[in-house]
Structure 1
Amino acid sequence: MNQISRTHDTSVDRCLQAERLIGAQALREAQALRYRVFSGEFNAKLKGAEQGLDIDDYDEHCSHVGVRDLSTGHLVATTRLLDHTAATSLGNYYSEEEFSLHGLGRLQGPILELGRTCVDPAYRNGGTIAVLWSELAEILNEGGYSYLMGCASIPMQDGGIQAHAIMQRLRERYLCNEHLRAEPKKPLPTLDLPTNVICEMPPLLKAYMRLGAKICGEPYWDEDFQVADVFILLKRADLCPRYARHFKAAV
């Protein structure tokens, strides 16, 4: 367990600590949290659902990171990390199941892919994300990674109205194909968007954008999870100074 990344939430009696999840039991905790979030919020079709778990073939090739509430012992956030070495052994990154990543081979420096990131609804605040980011900073620093990449999801239960509205905002401010172009293998269905839609970016997607990440193309329609997946790329050298304190060890 890594005890460097820790914060105390003064609004409630919570002490949050990041840890690297080692061993089968810790992985099952992460898979159980993923199941509760993905099935409860998205009604996702998940492998392992009969066990109350979200399981896929990538888990055993990834390292896993979590945030634990020390006052309860519960795991409240998790993400998994697939690095370039493991991806080479597998033959692809997870994102490549959803996107054709044009230019991926030309990126200079080691790459780390984030996936299956989720946070317990009761802990979706800046403190929880900051603890997770701080631990990720340690990992970035240790591995000397130049890029973070992965997908952030937008719920589609409303038929895609929010996803299309959010994408309008993202295209205006955060679209960049300078380093990589992500072409979705299953684009979103077309939709005539009402003019009066008010949209709110999901917290995780908003956090990525604040750090300086860019989107690299149109979203992928994940029908099993009932979400629109947006491919994001964060070049470590482009970290936003205002939020780089969460990644201070990696800057």
Structure 2
Amino acid sequence: MPTAVLAGSFPENTAAEPLGRIGVLEVRLARNASEIAAAQEVRYRVFYDELGARPNGPQAAAGRDTDRFDEVCDHLLVFDTSLPGPDHRRIVGTYRLLRQEVAAEAGGFYSEDEFELRNLVARHPGQRFLELGRSCVLPQYRSKRTIELLWQGIWAYINLHRIGVMTGCASFHGTVPAVHAEALSYLAHNCRASREWDVRAVAGRYCPIDLMPAEAITMKSALAALPPLIKGYLRVGAKIGDGCVIDHQFGTVDVFIVMPVKQIAARYVSYYGGEAERFAA
């Protein structure tokens, strides 16, 4: 179990305060080890029990999805306040947040095992990067409302920490890129990052995503085949890096997401930014 409570350098008491609220759902950062452990249990239920990832021995014994980054990351949590019991038993969704300065002290970002993120960071010394990861929501809470609430929390967080660029991996289920040929090819032809923001999969793990010519893609079916998380990222203006990587532990095909905050669609900045200011005030 992580011994650290939070990696964040928030103003006093901010970590304990809500960063967003919709109905009975509330989003804030984890504020103690019990909440982090409960978030790891939610991740295990989604990634391993539901989606078939393969746990190592300690993960299986504990029933929690854990790795070394949990001790240094901030953990964004969605709570159903209508549920009985203590807060750590009300967690229904989570995101893991790793800021650039914390990653530097921890030896790098999580996604550097798959994509050349360090090169991107080096090209933009004036920016502050945030890595998003381990996104999951329990099945009965997978709704537009929950996703909106997570984004409210993320916006409050990036405002508080003056983040300039959000990055991270997003996944297709399975380990055969060709199964997702149309959706991956749609991303390759329509959603690729500009040269300034491009990130390539690491040598030795690189798999191409341009598997079909543009004229062979049916946009409607390609969009329907995109995982909801990737569609959500694209909706706010995210772009896709070069290539994909197969993650055999989690049983996924991973692509890289890059979102410079200044390039995010204005309507989302207006909506989520307004909510962030309200809860960060």
TM-score by length of 2: 0.79
Deviations for 1:186-215, whole angstroms, at most 9, x for unmatched residues? 23489987x799442111111111111111
Match of 1:21 in 2: 30
Match of 1:212 in 2: 237
Question: 224, 246, 249: which one pairs with 2:272?
Answer: 246
Deviates more, 1:67-76 or 1:208-217: 67-76
Q: CA deviation at 1:171?
A: 1.3
Residues 98 and 192 (structure 1), Cα distance of their counterparts in 2 relative to 1, 3 Å cut: closer
| SS of equivalent to 2:54 | coil
Deviations for 1:22-67, whole angstroms, at most 9, x for unmatched residues? 2110001110000000013331122412211000011001011111
Matched, 1:33 2:42: yes
**Structure 1 unmatched ranges of 5 or more:** 9-14
TM-score by length of 1: 0.88
How far apart, in 1, do the equivalents of 2:155 and 2:263 lie? 14
Question: Structure 2 matches for 1:20-99, cutoff 5 A?
Answer: 20-47=29-56, 48-72=59-83, 74-99=90-115
Tell me how large the CA RMSD over aligned residues is: 2.3
Deviations for 1:172-194, whole angstroms, at most 9, x for unmatched residues? 2210132232224423489987x
How far apart, in 2, do the equivalents of 1:205 and 1:190 lie? 15
Q: CA deviation at 1:71?
A: 1.4
User: Does structure 1 retain, via aligned residues, the 8 Å contact 2:182–2:217?
Assistant: no
Instruction: State how many pairs are aligned.
Output: 242
| SS of equivalent to 1:187 | coil
Question: 170, 173, 197: which one pairs with 1:155?
Answer: 173
Give the aligned residue type for 2:174: M
User: Does structure 2 retain, via aligned residues, the 8 Å contact 1:184–1:218?
Assistant: no
How far apart, in 2, do the equivalents of 1:105 and 1:155 lie? 31
Match of 1:12 in 2: none
Deviations for 1:120-154, whole angstroms, at most 9, x for unmatched residues? 12212211011111111111011111001111111
Aligned residues: percent identity?
Answer: 32
User: Does structure 1 retain, via aligned residues, the 8 Å contact 2:100–2:129?
Assistant: yes
Greater strand fraction, Structure 1 or Structure 2: 1
Matched, 1:5 2:20: yes
Greater helix fraction, Structure 1 or Structure 2: 2
How far apart, in 1, do the equivalents of 2:20 and 2:262 lie? 22
User: Does structure 1 retain, via aligned residues, the 8 Å contact 2:121–2:129?
Assistant: no
